[in-house]
Amino acid sequence: MAAVSVFRPGLFKHKVAIVTGGGTGIGRAISVELLGLGCRVVISSRNAQRLEAAAQEMRQQIPGGSSPASVSALKCNIRNEDEVKALVSAVLERYGRIDFLVNNGGGQFPSPVEDMSSKGWTAVMDTNVNGSFHCCQQVYRAWMKEHGGAIVNIIADMWRGFPGMAHSGAARAAVDNLTKSLAIEWAPSGVRVNAVAPGTIFSRTAMENYKESGPELFKLSVPNVPAKRLGVPEEVSSAVCFLLSPGASFVSGATLRVDAGQSLYRSLWEIPDHSAWPEAPAGENRDSLQDLLNPKSKL
């Protein structure tokens, strides 16, 4: 696995990382790259069966010989504070340290706000915001306050709002701000806290999560990316590894956009022509604007 990373083999030798949502998609790519760099990785999610299957596959790819890398699967619902405490305690009992935390666990579903249920809104906010908060707080209290460390929060491209998934946009914006707050509060402990904001990243599991609309959603996204292609999880994992590495020793409170400039370009959300807004204030400027848009015939 080390061959797929741009970083030197053994970069994270003997380091210990927790990666939430580490069994699929972006989280899996992050876990695989960390393993390839010699890290001991604990992946967690709510689905124990899928998590252990992912861990088994990762173990088969760990280079033989002197690599200290290992992967463990521990079930955890990050919405539940007690489960997060248990996860952190189990990692410390097994490895005696926690150097890195990658808050990748989260989720959302497409829905306009008008049709969104309170239950759906709360579930997305609880997973993305409260889950990230619980993980950060418990890791800090149990280990990083006294020993330092690095945290990377995975958010999303929500800089121009997130129409169609407003719950996710609100949640990711909250985590972006949490990242900045923690970077200041925890600086005296030597804890660096950063975020990565992926653009449209394709993975099989992500496409399957959106069910029958998945393929079309990803296809429609391509013209809105300046690169004119979608990203893949391995392009996010390298950014995460950089922020965890000594190369980012003076970086904290930053959010790295991994989106090929998509957040600067244009939105997938189309607004149809309409006349629902009130007219501009009367006067010569409105009259000139109307003449510009609807010029009078010279005949």
Specify the amino acid at residue 249.
Answer: S
Instruction: Say what the pLDDT of residue 12 is.
Output: 97
At 215, the pLDDT band (50, 70, 90 cuts) reads confident
Least confident of 63-72, 159-168, 239-248: 63-72
Predicted model pTM: 0.92
Mean pLDDT across the chain: 93
Closest CA to 97 of 105, 86, 106, 88: 88
User: Is 299 a residue whose pLDDT tops 80?
Assistant: no
Question: Which range, 139-143, 203-207, 282-286, is most confident?
Answer: 139-143
Q: What is the pLDDT of residues 115-159, one digit of tens each?
A: 999 999 999 999 999 999 999 999 999 999 999 999 999 999 999
Question: What six digits make up the tokens of 258?
Answer: 């991994």
Instruction: Taking residues 182-191, report their average pLDDT.
Output: 98
Instruction: Say what the pLDDT of residue 249 is.
Output: 98
What ranges do the domains of the chain cover?
2-270
Instruction: Say what the pLDDT of residue 122 is.
Output: 95
At 173, the pLDDT band (50, 70, 90 cuts) reads very high
Regarding beta strands 149-154 and 40-45, do their DSSP bridges make them parallel or antiparallel, or are they unpaired? unpaired
Instruction: Say what the pLDDT of residue 214 is.
Output: 78
Closest CA to 198 of 148, 239, 244: 239
Instruction: Taking residues 79-95, report their average pLDDT.
Output: 98
Instruction: Say what the pLDDT of residue 179 is.
Output: 98
2 vs 163, residue with greater confidence: 163
Could you tell me the fold of the domain covering 2-270? Rossmann fold (3.40.50)
Q: What is the pLDDT of residues 16-66, one digit of tens each?
A: 999 999 999 999 999 999 999 999 999 999 999 999 999 999 999 887 767
At 298, the pLDDT band (50, 70, 90 cuts) reads low
Instruction: Taking residues 249-253, report their average pLDDT.
Output: 98
User: Is 211 a residue whose pLDDT tops 80?
Assistant: no
Instruction: Taking residues 246-270, report their average pLDDT.
Output: 94
207 vs 74, residue with greater confidence: 74
2 vs 205, residue with greater confidence: 205
163 vs 90, residue with greater confidence: 90
